Amino acid sequence: MPSYPCLYSFRRCPYAMRARLGILFAQQQVELREVVLKNKPPQMLAISPKGTVPVLQLMDGSIIEESREIMVWALEQNDPQNLLDEALRTQGDELIDQNDNEFKYWLDRYKYADRHPQMSQADYRQKGEIFLQQLEALLSQHRYLLGNEISVADIGVMPFVRQFAHVDREVFYNLPYPNLQRWLQDWLEHPLFVQAMTKFKPWEEGDELVVFGS
């Protein structure tokens, strides 16, 4: 019987980032297996043939394959900062839905504009900015997306805004979104985000167990 749930993750994937953040905010511990996406371990593919990260195998053998579900699973075990505040759950779910179903589409095209020559990179950026403008409006009212405390919406959305910003940092920090820029910068310096971004060597069978989390 395993000692910990097992998380297959990839450090730079925004979906995997938010799963790791959920685990850290929930003060949970997992066995971390860092994955190289071009050389996915057969152990991961055996439990999740779709081959995307993150994947969490619980100690009873059940599998959670979606990053949002991993966040919620972790916080349902323990939620000391009330990230799953019931009063905000519907609004938070809607924001993450919009991030995953709309913003991510334009983010991918902005980041890989050379693969999508139908529009210019600037056009893709402007399409993505529709969501950023929404976030800016929320952040003009309070410190975090849904209030003055962190919610699951913040950890669900932030890794994707970070990826958008890092396509061209100079352009991003010259856009007229001061509250969003401040929020992102705060997150980049947040101790749990710094911990979430710790580098680990890719996992191979027989490696010493890596325990991730508090």
* 1 pLDDT more than 70: no
SS3 per-residue string spanning the chain: CCCCCEEEECCCCHHHHHHHHHHHHCCCEEEEEECCHHHCCHHHHHHCCCCCCCEEECCCCCEECCHHHHHHHHHHHCCCCCCCCHHHHHHHHHHHHHHHHHHHHHHHHHHCHHHCCCCCHHHHHHHHHHHHHHHHHHHCCCCECCECCCCHHHHHHHHHHHHHHHHCHHHHCCCCCHHHHHHHHHHHCCHHHHHHCCCCCCCCCCCCCCEEEC
- Answer yes or no: is pLDDT of 172 > 70: yes
Query: What mean pLDDT comes out for the span 136-164?
Result: 98
**pLDDT, tens digit, for every residue of 42-75?**
999 999 999 999 999 999 999 999 999 999 999 9
What's the whole-number mean pLDDT along residues 120-144?
Answer: 98
Per-residue confidence band for 214, with pLDDT thresholds at 50, 70 and 90? confident
The pTM is what?
0.97
Which structural domains are found in the chain, ordered by start? 6-81+194-213 (3.40.30.10), 86-190 (1.20.1050.10)
**Mean predicted confidence (pLDDT) in 99-122:** 97
